Amino acid sequence: MLKGQKTSIRPMEDDDIDTMYQWYNDQEVNLWSSGAWPLNTLQSKDQLAVKFLDGSPDMYRYAILDESDLLIGSIGFKDVNMPGRSATLYVVIGDKTYWGKGYGTDALITFSRFLFAQWNFHRISLDTWDGNVRAIRAYEKVGFKLEGRQREARFVLGNYHDAILMGLLREEFFSLHGKL
Ligand SMILES: CC(C)(COP(=O)(O)OP(=O)(O)OC[C@H]1O[C@@H](n2cnc3c(N)ncnc32)[C@H](O)[C@@H]1OP(=O)(O)O)[C@@H](O)C(=O)NCCC(=O)NCCS
């Protein structure tokens, strides 16, 4: 179990699937996370279990817990580039009552430290869309820097939006948040 200031992070378990199913069928969660709901709403619990528990060899998923060990979100990485020691991060606080209270930033800092210190990654990437100001602000607080925009790459609620590409290097992270 990884311990942050507000959150803990542990591997996914069978019991998490019912809660995850609620999040992935929630239009608002989907709107922010994929920028194109209802992409995920067709997923059954069985499909989610396969995706999150069995996983794929290049997708690593973990559960985010609050101070009382209640499941509130999920975090993970994919697209591992071995020679470049890089990967792409994703995060979702699925319980909306926890948005904007620092849990996402704390989970990102805790998980990024794990990836840099334990997995020996050199760099982490992530992306979102320009309307997701809360996510961009959270990523900036962790230390992610804007690296590019893909113009009108996302279609959200009837409008095109730029995709926002961000990245974080290990030494930048350690200088901001320390190694431990
Ligand atoms: C994105 C997400 C992980 C961020 O986690 P969080 O716990 O909500 O965010 P935090 O509270 O740690 O930080 C959010 C920051 O954005 C700010 N913020 C929130 N809404 C904002 C808005 N509309 N405009 C400007 N800033 C805003 C908050 O004030 C806070 O910054 P501050 O600490 O400087 O005040 C979470 O909101 C989430 O999972 N959302 C739904 C799915 C999603 O968007 N996933 C990411 C897809 S790429």
Burial class (CB in 10 A: 0-12, 13-18, 19+), 44: exposed
Top-level CATH class of 2-177? alpha beta
Ligand 1 contacts CB of residue 142 (under 6 A): no
pLDDT band at 40 (very low <50, low <70, confident <90, very high): low
Atom of ligand 1 nearest to the CA of 101: 11
In the chain, the amino acid numbered 27 is Q
How far, in Å, CA of 85 to CA of 166, rounded?
Answer: 16
pLDDT, tens only, 5-36:
999 999 999 999 999 888 888 888 888 887 65
pLDDT, tens only, 63-87:
999 999 999 999 999 999 999 999 9
Q: How many CA atoms lie within 13 A of 65 on its CB side?
A: 14
Task: Report phi then psi at 64, rounded to 5.
Answer: -105, 130
Ligand 1 contacts CB of residue 103 (under 6 A): yes
Most confident of 53-67, 107-121, 151-165: 107-121
